[in-house]
A and B are shown apart, each in its own frame.
Chain A
């Protein structure tokens, strides 16, 4: 089972012949992900990754000929919203957009159109999702994982790797690790992922990794307090030392008008009974203390 990506995944990569797309497609394939097709308009009929993956002009063709059900997007920002909508239009159920730097107003309309089509969008500006031992979609290094029963959800990339590595080193495996993205407007929120983990029979515990900006961590905490009683959880929030009014790299990571502070998020999580680690390396100990074996 796991969530979002797993044994049933049949992946198409949009932008597979680009530099980033090709590099990460190779890693996904080597990990054992069922990567069945690539799409680059104008390169239909060719193949990618030394002939291992057929390339199509359109996502619709890729779906028709290979039964692709999940898409991963490496298309540059100017074309990425269109690539997301193309995937949704072709009947892809889960779209994971890695691309960073998409204007926020473009994402407002794209997210709405995708939601109306009933399609799950992860990202943009996210590292993707990995269900260890089953499938890796995106750019998360495969080597940091260990298969297990703890779900991980995060807004960040390398910070997630840090936390997952610490878990793996401590012998705590993961069911699925999801990076939801660091942009202000994203397709899937912490709360959405918590709901999916709550329903997943292969996930017993949850780690939430947030950062300053917005109110998504607070919303997730409120929901968890009501619906995840008894589920072991641990959290980490980045940006305790971030100054107000400065955008800390991620377009979404900014404290404005006194809202979105790390202190506020930590308080909301602790109020919901979720312990917040002072360092990513402390997450395994908090999980153990919460009852994870």
Chain B
């Protein structure tokens, strides 16, 4: 689960990391009020950042500076409602614009191959780490945390010296340790601070001071662990959730909407992807990824059918079930039930093999469903059905 920058920053603050104060605004007036407070606290400029769960906000015009509260209100008015990669911006973050001396990248990810937490740092902050990794792999310092003890102090020091942060080493070591702590405390797959910046500010005595600050944060949480962090589920941004995805999750169905016309219902993630691939190979475009999960009963099958049909672009449905835990006759009953309740007529091709396939075949033949023997055959039939069913548009 991805969470917004503002929420990610809160999780960093909870682990004691230095993050400059911010406010979240849902309207231009709220943005103005937040900007007024920020200017009153001594800021010369404020930054207004779109809160969306996609990258490339800056390039899309979703990050702007303002020199007055009025300007902040005007800019927030332009960013709110803006479309960034298909997502409508509904919130902005308002914070003092930092006087940045130098930017770094610091992130922790789950390294699948090494089966360790990997801490990555780069003195080329502010840009996508993937880009640095591709162009100048030597510019990234990589350290694997101890698998049982976590990140050790000496490892954090090694990172800090590797980044040339020796002047700020105490603060930097604390940030590196806190970063991994944030990951462990929240069951995160990814915690990124980009940029981690050396920022110039005015100290209480009026002199300039340089401190390390986390200016942007990105955190992805492990869906499998959300159950033991009830507070984190509340960070799910319902503004950006497709209502269909929400309905699917409630039913225990794994569903991802795509752009095509052939709805797919499959048991098992690998087979669901394969079914999509074969639809494409047969000349069609899948409308969705849908895994009904193991051991699905008739009611879940009916719910899956409803999800597929809620997409008006769907012109044919391909059901592919390889019964193991899942019983073919249960699925067949669910399909028959679902078709009886269906509001619009969509051609359906069903292939059920494995556990109780004979009984499923009998039920489906009786109910006059179109069936297919092989997966390739089923894909071809579904593509043909979608073509026939679609008037030239």
Contact = CB atoms under 8 A, between A and B. Distances in A.
Interface of A: 20, 23-24, 77-78, 101-106, 108-109, 111-113, 127, 139-141, 143-144, 154-162, 165, 182, 184-185, 209, 211-212, 214-216, 219, 236, 238-243, 246-253, 257-258, 262, 278-281
B353 to A, nearest CB: 7
A258 B279 CA distance: 23
A28 B258 CA distance: 39
B278 to A, nearest CB: 6
B239 interface: no
Contacts of B355: 141
A281 B324 contact: no
B271 A156 contact: yes
Mostly helix, strand, loop or mixed at chain B's interface?
mixed
Contact of A249 (B228, B291, B322): B291
Given A105-B184, A184-B110, A243 B148 contact: no
Contacts of B266: 158
Nearest to A245: B54
B368 interface: no
B345 to A, nearest CB: 27
A248 B183 CA distance: 23
Given A219-B113, A246-B256, A211 B189 contact: no
Interface stretch (B69-77, B167-175, B219-227, B330-338): B219-227
A144 B322 CA distance: 11
B268 A159 contact: yes
A242 B288 CA distance: 10
A113 B148 contact: yes
Nearest to A159: B270
Given A112-B147, A113-B148, A158-B324, A211 B270 contact: yes
Given A108-B115, A162-B375, A238-B270, 6 more contacts: A103-B187, A139-B325, A157-B271, A159-B268, A248-B256, A249-B289
A238 B281 CA distance: 12
B269 interface: yes
A239 B273 contact: yes
A258 B272 CA distance: 21
Contacts of B269: 156, 182, 211, 248-250, 253
A157 B270 CA distance: 7
A249 B254 contact: yes
20 contacts: A20-B295, A20-B325, A103-B187, A103-B222, A108-B117, A112-B115, A141-B323, A141-B324, A141-B355, A158-B324, A159-B271, A162-B322, A185-B115, A215-B113, A238-B277, A239-B277, A248-B289, A250-B270, A281-B374, A281-B376
Contacts of B295: 20
Contact of B272 (A212, A247, A248, A251): A248
Interface of B: 110, 112-113, 115-117, 130, 147-148, 183-184, 187, 189, 222-225, 228, 254, 256, 258, 266-274, 276-281, 286, 289, 291, 294-295, 322-325, 353-355, 374-376
Contacts of B254: 249
A33 to B, nearest CB: 16
B268 A158 contact: yes
A20 B325 CA distance: 9
A242 to B, nearest CB: 6
A241 B286 contact: yes
B113 A214 contact: yes
Contacts of A143: 354
A105 B225 contact: yes
Contacts of A154: 270
Contact of A155 (B147, B225, B270, B353): B270
10 closest A-B pairs by beta carbon, nearest first, are: A156-B270, A249-B269, A158-B268, A159-B270, A103-B225, A112-B147, A238-B273, A158-B271, A257-B130, A249-B254
Nearest to A179: B270
A279 B276 contact: no
Given A108-B115, A238-B277, A281 B270 contact: no
A112 B148 contact: yes
A126 to B, nearest CB: 11
Contacts of A139: 294, 324-325
A252 B112 contact: yes
B383 to A, nearest CB: 13
Nearest to B354: A141
Most chain B CB within a 10 A radius of its CB, from A103, A158, A242, A257: A158
A154 B222 CA distance: 23
Nearest to A259: B130
A2 B273 CA distance: 30
Contact of A211 (B110, B256, B273, B353): B273
Contacts of A262: 277
